[in-house]
Amino acid sequence: MTNSNYKRKHLDLGCGNAPRNPYHAPELFGVDLKIDSGKLDEHFKICNLACEPVPFIESYFDSVSAFDVIEHIPRQSVDHQNKTIVNPFINLMNEIHRVLKPGGLFYASTPAFPSPEAFQDPTHVNIITQGTHEYFCGQNPDARIYGFTGQFVAVEAQRIYPKYSQTAERTLLDKIKNAHKKYIKRSISHFVWQLQAVK
């Protein structure tokens, strides 16, 4: 986009009252279960990501982020009224793909197996591993059999300390520090995905 008036839009899922903007987009949006009423407007909306669609139109965002969010989205639940199994995590990945523009980026940072941080919070119901993102990538993603309708390409998938996951544009020094800490006995708690939407 070479138009100088072009404004990139970023959506932070689970934004709370301090939305994150890892791509430094000039226009910031957010959704969460709770947001201060004074902050609610066309940019910030209340949404339960485990059971509601993302409340924005198709292909609206250049990027979407989820910091410590996807581990709270159930992998499966039961719709007792319709007697069916629902896949909230698959549905959320469909929604993320839907609201991203072609080539848009999804940035996720989450505690991952085998780190204790993946399990210690009792509301962590979706344990992420090094290979979870692969179910949503490639020409025929494995998650298709569960109802995933999108397609992503992995730009980045690596273990990282949360301190170094706050921006998608980590400095070389941050990358070196993070790599060095891989040799420390303490495990690296988080896994970062950067996935690009194919449309």
Q: Tokens 């499966």 appear where?
A: 76
Query: What pLDDT digit, counting tens, does each position of 20-49 carry?
Result: 999 999 999 999 998 887 778 889 999 999
| Residue 86 in this model has a pLDDT that exceeds 80 | yes
The pLDDT value given to residue 4: 43
Instruction: Give 9-197's CATH code, choosing from 3.40.190.80, 3.30.450.20, 1.10.260.40, 3.40.50.150.
Output: 3.40.50.150
Q: 161-183 burial, b for 16+ CB within 10 Å, e for fewer?
A: bbebbeebebeeebeeebeebee
DSSP state for residue 43 in the 8-state scheme? S
Query: What pLDDT digit, counting tens, does each position of 128-168 carry?
Result: 999 999 999 999 999 999 999 999 999 999 988 666 566 66
Query: What pLDDT digit, counting tens, does each position of 42-62 carry?
Result: 899 999 999 999 999 999 999
Q: Can you point out the beta strands (E) in 43-198?
A: 44-46, 61-67, 77-79, 84-86, 100-111, 152-160, 190-197
The pLDDT value given to residue 38: 75
pTM over 0.95? The answer is no
| Residue 172 in this model has a pLDDT that exceeds 80 | no
The pLDDT value given to residue 40: 80
The pLDDT value given to residue 179: 54
Average pLDDT, the chain: 88
Query: What pLDDT digit, counting tens, does each position of 5-16 carry?
Result: 468 999 999 999
- Distance between CA atoms of residues 180 and 62, nearest Å: 32
